[in-house]
Chain A
Amino acid sequence: MTQVFEPAKPIWCAGCGDFGVQASLQKALSETGTNLNDVVIVAGIGCSGTIQNNIPTYGYHSLHGRTLPSAIGVKLANPKLTVIAAGGDGDGYAIGMGHLIHTFKRNPSILYIIMNNETYGLTKGQYSPTSNPGFEGNVENGMDGILVGLGVPSTTFLARGFAGAPAQLTRLLTDGLTHVQSGKGFAFVEVLSPCVTYNDTYKLWKNITYDVDSDTNFNPRDKIGSYTTVINKREEGKIPIGLIYSADHPSLEQVSVDDQEKGPALQDISLASNMDRYEAVMKTFLG
């Protein structure tokens, strides 16, 4: 068999939450029986954006903040692929925020894992869009990506996991993969993934996470209910985790790709098989 790249040993600091994310993702890939030849992981730039090097799938290290547009391009070119986008909170919520909102709006069948450590790990610990006031001189309130997702009408899957709760994280990623592999649209999974070096939040998050999955009164298909729960829990100083919202909406690839069997990447572009249609187009210029 041809020798291809060897998955790398992670470069993360010992104890980094991203180890847990990788482990859960690999379990989810195996639980869904996914053929790794059909998977493309599109990573951002950051500590989190090295995850693709460690897993034997197709991997693309995109530009900082451009993880989602790159993943959308891959998906639209070949809808049969399992496309996973992965990056940090800086990548997704700061420089890439415009794309995130538009990705909710478009609903492409892509699993997006955003590793939130409330800091910029790679550039050595500056505050990020999710940091609390007081962290590294931050004076702004942190934001919540799940609330952003709830605000967009075509959102179909919103979940938050915690690297310190691996069983639930694996289940959420498995559900997310199933969502995208059945063409249901964008699966957004934010993972609370502590940066032990610049912002060690393991203990804090263990105490303040609130698991909606074990709340029998919580219904993730009730949008108003989800909104209310997230807002109320945030006001109580808690962070909700679990499957927070799910809904149905046509996926981007369903409404954009005319040939559902073959995306643009699989089209036969030889001159011979297209000549009749090329000639027909030329005739339109004869006036």
Chain B
Amino acid sequence: MESSRTTVDEDICIMVGGQGGDGSLTVTALLAGLFRRRGLNVYSSRNVLSRIKGGHADGVVRASRNNIKCLGDHVKVVVAFDEEAVLATKDDLDPNATIIFDSSAGELDPKLVDNTVKIYNIPFTKLILAEIRRELFKNSASFAVVGRLLGFPDEEMLQSLNSRYGAKAAPILENNIRAFKIGLEWAGKNGLTAADSTSPNTVDVKQKLLMTGNEAVSYGLLVGGVRFFAGYPITPATDVMEYLQKWFPKFGGVVKQAEDELSAINMALGAALAGARSVIATSGPGLSLIHEGMGQAGAAEIPLVIVDTQRAGPSTGLPTKIEQSDLQTLVYGGHGEFPRFVLTPGSVEDCFNIGRLAPNLAEMYQLPVIIAMDLGICQNTVTIESLDLHSGKIDRGKRLTAEDLAKMPVYGRYSFTDDGVSPYTVPSTENGRFLITGNEHNEFGHVNTDKLNRVKMMEKRSIKMKSALKDLPRGTVYGDESSKIGFIGIGSTYGVILEAMGLLAKEGVSSKYYKPLTILPLEDAIGSFLDGCDEVYVVEQNQSGQLSNLITLKFGRHKQLHNILRFDGNLFRPREISQRVLQIREKQSAIVH
């Protein structure tokens, strides 16, 4: 049989799919590692149902010499353990794609795909059952075939299996290697011979970091001095709890898994007022449960960082799918009126920087600081250059020591100040006793219902939003700043918009993009960006255009504002956005002419 090896020229995207438990994600992780060792940039995502075994699951890994930050448009290689996996990726298939199909239950019907697509039928399940008796090792056999197809030398692949399974029980490693060798044999039978070890694809190798947004935000929080975490497991926020749990023992931190989110946020409030930098992370239904506690942090002026890893709601919704549909409740949710910041990282670097900054902001301004992530940015893996650990600082705001207090005739926890921020103490500070309460209170924290006091206290708390403007993260303009066509988008739309802009440029349409980092208080820079645009496209993963509504409420409706929305639980693809823009522009010019 003739061999048709696929090589990484510029950009390649591989999808591995089957039923949950087939081990697809392991194959994409192994491939991601191999690509990275070649110095390529990697972006990978996973698509799983909220159960361990069964249901369609797939992983996608994209590798490129370019600085990719999204999935791209075309899948070039598919490893499919069943027909469903082929159907799931059919619409995104490159015309010259290759499919490696597990033909244990029959060969793939070639009519399902274009006739330009190359198909390898290899009965992985049957082979592995016959030889090893445990189906689960079939993914290592498929890894051998796809690795050969991509031109990775056998030795390199073997090494990555060793480093993945070396620490596991010996039979696990042995069986994976047996399965891998069976895969090699069948690759050979299909004309995929071993590559030599000097692969032509190797680019200049500089070691890079491979991180998800959840890893980056957790790491940022750690470096930002967070030492207390409380949470209740929920996808995709649980990762944050697990990473901190792994790191905290070396840093004297504590992670507490609570009985529910009500408990979690109140534990974090307690730890915060005792002086520990505290964080909770939640998503979906958990976000609804923490609103009372968020208001408490606002009214009682307790520093707290809240990570919301947005997923598709309402209710349990699509628990493993992306959405950006909490923005409105993050900005307005909760009873009563209280100050808060809502920050929206777009890149993995943003996740780290904002994770590190948020605990400072919380203590400097004594209020809830919300980091609004989305499932795509949380879970997808990106290669980045190293993070700069030295540029940050720890700022504990107006925290008083016993020595500071000794110089003060009077200390009231809620004393009035010009910037609205009162000096604070933590328990055990000599002469620093406080009363903290979410009831309206006077300067000493005694409950107070006087109307003048009420107005002054409300103003004191709200003025903090203005005082903080100098310290809040600001967004960035990308692309052609002189263009009159502008995009706005947050979170995981960032990488997709950048790539869509590249596609538009190829069509002769130049554009620019503003990626905001603070949506409460909404950055003024958005207003000037709108002023500099004749047409604006706000790209969001929700149904009602929540970000564009926030923008319109503050800056008025832009004369040419278009929403590009997706809420089917899947990430945007670049071409989808560029095409929508071209369509809208065509329609507009038809109206004008």
Which residue in A2, A62, A78 is a CB contact (below 8 Å) of B427?
A78
Cross-interface CB contact of B275 among A77, A98, A259, cutoff 8 Å = A77
Contact with B along A5-19 (1 / 0, CB 8 A): 110100000000000
Chain B 248-282 interface mask (CB, 8 Å, partner A; 1/0): 11111110101110111011111111111110000
A61 at the interface (CB under 8 A from B): yes
The answer to whether A265 and B259 touch across the interface, beta carbons within 8 angstroms, is no
- A259-287: contact bitstring with B at CB < 8 Å (1 yes, 0 no)? 10011111101110011011101100111
Point out the residue from B208, B260, B387, B427 that lies within 8 Å of A40, measured CB to CB. Answer: B427
Pair B256/A269 contact, Cβ less than 8 Å: no
B293 at the binding interface (Cβ < 8 Å): yes
- Is A264 a contact partner of B270 (Cβ separation < 8 A)? no
Contact of B266 among A4, A66, A264 (CB under 8 A): A66
Closest CB in chain A relative to B209 CB, distance in Å: 4
CB pair A38–B428 under 8 Å, yes or no, is yes
**A69 close to chain B: CB less than 8 A:** yes
Please state if A264 and B276 are interface contacts (CB–CB under 8 Å): yes
Which residue from chain A places its CB closest to the CB of B249 in the assembled complex?
A258
Q: Give 17 A-B contacts (CB < 8 Å), ordered by A residue.
A: A2-B408, A4-B432, A5-B434, A56-B433, A58-B427, A63-B293, A63-B438, A69-B264, A69-B270, A70-B269, A74-B270, A98-B260, A256-B256, A265-B271, A267-B276, A274-B251, A285-B219
Q: How many whole Å from A243's CB to the nearest CB in chain B?
A: 27
CA distance in complex: A61, B301 (Å): 12
B271 adjacent to A73 (CB under 8 Å): yes
A80 close to B223 (CB less than 8 A)? no
CB distance from A238 to the nearest CB of B (A): 33
The answer to whether B276 and A77 have CB atoms under 8 Å apart is: yes
Select B434's contact among A58, A256, A270, A277, beta carbons within 8 Å.
A58
- Residues of A16-72 contacting chain B, CB below 8 A: 36-40, 42, 50, 52-53, 56-63, 65-66, 69-72
What residues of A have a CB within 8 angstroms of the CB of B410 in the complex? 2-4
- Decide if A191 is an interface residue (CB 8 Å cutoff): no
Chain A binder among B225-233, B493-501, B545-553: B225-233
Asked whether A267 lies within 8 Å of B227 as measured between CB atoms, the reply is yes
A247 at the interface (CB under 8 A from B): no
Query: Quick one: which of B209-224 are within 8 Å of A by CB?
Result: 209-211, 215, 219, 222-223
A264 and B248 CA atoms in complex are apart in Å by 10
* Contact segment of B443-451, B506-514, B533-541: B443-451
* One of B271, B390, B428 near A80 (C-beta < 8 A): B428
Chain B interface residues (CB < 8 Å from chain A)? 33, 36-37, 207-211, 215, 219, 222-223, 225, 227-228, 230, 247-254, 256, 258-260, 262-264, 266-278, 292-293, 296, 300, 386-387, 389-390, 392-394, 405-406, 408-413, 426-439, 444-447
- Is B437 a contact of A61 with CB atoms below 8 Å? yes
CB-defined contacts of A171 to chain B, threshold 8 Å: none
CB–CB A77/B274 < 8 A = yes
Q: In angstroms, how far is the closest chain B Cβ from the Cβ of A106?
A: 9
Q: Which residue of B lies closest to A256 (CB)?
A: B254
Residues from chain B with a CB closer than 8 A to the CB of A271 are 223, 389-390, 392-394
Q: Is A192 an interface residue (CB 8 A)?
A: no
Q: Is the CB of A3 within 8 A of B434?
A: no
Q: Is the CB of B293 within 8 A of A66?
A: yes
Taking a contact as CB atoms under 8 Å apart, the answer to whether A76 and B256 are in contact is yes
Chain A: interface residue total (CB-CB under 8 A): 64
Q: How far is the CA of A5 from the CA of B422 in the complex (A)?
A: 15
Least CB separation from A257: chain B residue: B254
Contact A63 B435 (CB under 8 A): no
Given contacts A69-B266, A74-B274, contact A59 B227 (CB under 8 A): no
Flag if A278 contacts B266 (CB, 8 Å).
no
Shortest distance from the beta carbon of B440 to any chain A beta carbon, whole Å: 11
A residues in contact with B296, CB < 8 Å: 62-63
Distance between Cα atoms of A223 and B250 in the complex (Å): 39
Which residues in window 80-124 of A have CB below 8 A to B? 80-81, 98-99, 102
Distance between A165 CB and nearest chain B CB, rounded to angstroms: 30
Q: Which residues in A have their C-beta under 8 angstroms from that of B444?
A: 4-6
B262 with A2: CB separation less than 8 A:
no
Q: In the assembled complex, which residues on chain A have CB atoms less than 8 Å from the CB atom of B277?
A: 264, 269
Inter-subunit contact A98/B276 (CB<8 Å): no
Asked if A204 CB lies within 8 Å of chain B CBs, one says: no
Chain A residues with Cβ under 8 A from B292's Cβ?
63
Q: A73 contacts which chain B residues (CB < 8 A)?
A: 228, 230, 266-272, 274, 278
Cross-chain contact B215 with A61 (CB below 8 angstroms): no
A contact residues around B210 at 8 Å (CB): 285-287
A269 vs B210: C-alpha distance in the bound complex, in angstroms? 26
Q: A4-B411, A286-B209 are in contact. Are A267 and B251 (CB under 8 A)?
A: yes
Q: Is the CB of A278 within 8 A of B263?
A: no
The answer to whether A60 touches B270 (Cβ under 8 A) is yes
A5 and B250 CA atoms in complex are apart in Å by 38
Given A66-B263, A269-B227, A271-B394, 11 other A-B residues pairs in contact with their CB atoms under 8 A: A2-B432, A4-B432, A38-B427, A59-B434, A59-B436, A76-B256, A99-B262, A264-B252, A264-B276, A281-B219, A287-B37
